[in-house]
Amino acid sequence: MTERTKITLPHLFDKADRGDPISMLTCYDFPTATFQEGAGVEMILVGDSLGMTMLGYDSTLPVTMEDMIRHAQAVRRGAPGAWLIGDMPYMSYQPSVETAIRNAGRFMAEAACDAVKLEGGQEMADRMAGIAAAGIPVMGHLGLTPQSSSALGGFRLQGKTAKQALKIVHDAKALERAGAFAILLELVPDQVCKLITERADGCFVISLGSGPHAHGQLLIYHDMFGLYPKFKPRMAKVFGDAGSVIQEGLERYVHDVGERSFPEEENYFRMADDAYEELLSELEAEV
């Protein structure tokens, strides 16, 4: 694989200005990062969704900074050219501006991330401004924000009424003013995403299940390949059913081991006959 040129923030802004859609995916491990790098994915989010997709929790809340750093490091090793974003886990930025800056700095220093992302609107604008002032590119996340899913009434469409939508539009402006380089809109109506995208000034908008009008699109990697067994959200397009391929392969493996049809000769090694004879004599001499 030829190494690609490192994606930079000016490159992403150029694309957004030209109306050329930006591709973004979540990723949590080295092999997948290698595939995504090879495919030319421009932005990679090491999401705290790894708590669900990789660690089997029912929500993202138990995920720690240590979990995030370990996975972000692995992804960076596999995708040196992508614009890599570390997702700030629950309570790594909510307590104070200082906590937010310190933890954002860890993503940059320990995992070679290019940026961080945090959830929340106007109430998080001071955390966002603090991180941006520390020289760390920071992305906002509005709409369905999984760390607040309990307060939001579950994993469901946000901004359905005019009043709710107006709050999201105002939140987006507050984040933009606080220095966000980009805003992720998760599961908001298409028209709301379009409005925010058209009004964006100095930041670009990425859509997750929020329609085609944003500057770029994000999908959860596990959803696009049928790799999350618990549910498949409607917003996710399945680009390949890797989950079924893996399940079928595993069943064949168990069957082949049971039937002794695995391993075959090409799957193992033999020593030379004379070396084996010598080994037997050595063993006999030991008795």
Residues that bind ligand KIV (CB under 6 A): 26, 45, 47-49, 87, 141, 146, 184, 186, 208, 220
Length of the chain: 287
Which residue number, 50 or 129, has a Cβ lying nearer to ligand KIV? 50
Closest separation in Å from C-beta 138 to ligand KIV: 14
Distance CA 278, CA 264 (A): 26
Closest to 135 in 3D by CA, of 99, 201, 83, 181: 181
For ligand KIV, the closer CB: 184 or 195: 184
Q: Which of 186, 248, 266, 282 is catalytic?
A: 186
> Hey, what amino acid is at 215?
H
Report in angstroms how near the CB of residue 13 gets to ligand KIV at its nearest.
20
Distance CA 240, CA 209 (A): 18
Which stretches does DSSP call E strand in 144-214?
Answer: 182-186, 204-208
Which residue bears the tokens 């890599």? 84
Where does residue 182 fall: left (phi above 0), alpha (psi -120 to 50 degrees), or beta otherwise? Answer: beta
Counting DSSP H helices and E strands in the chain, the numbers are 12, 8
Query: Residue 90 corresponds to which amino acid?
Result: Y
CB of residue 258 to ligand KIV, shortest distance in Å: 38
Active site residue 284: no
In the complex, the smallest distance separating the C-beta of residue 219 from ligand KIV, rounded to whole angstroms, is: 9
Please, what is the minimum distance in Å from the beta carbon of residue 223 to ligand KIV? 10
Residue nearest to ligand KIV (CB): 47
Are the beta carbons of 15 and 215 closer than 8 angstroms? yes
Catalytic residue annotation: 186
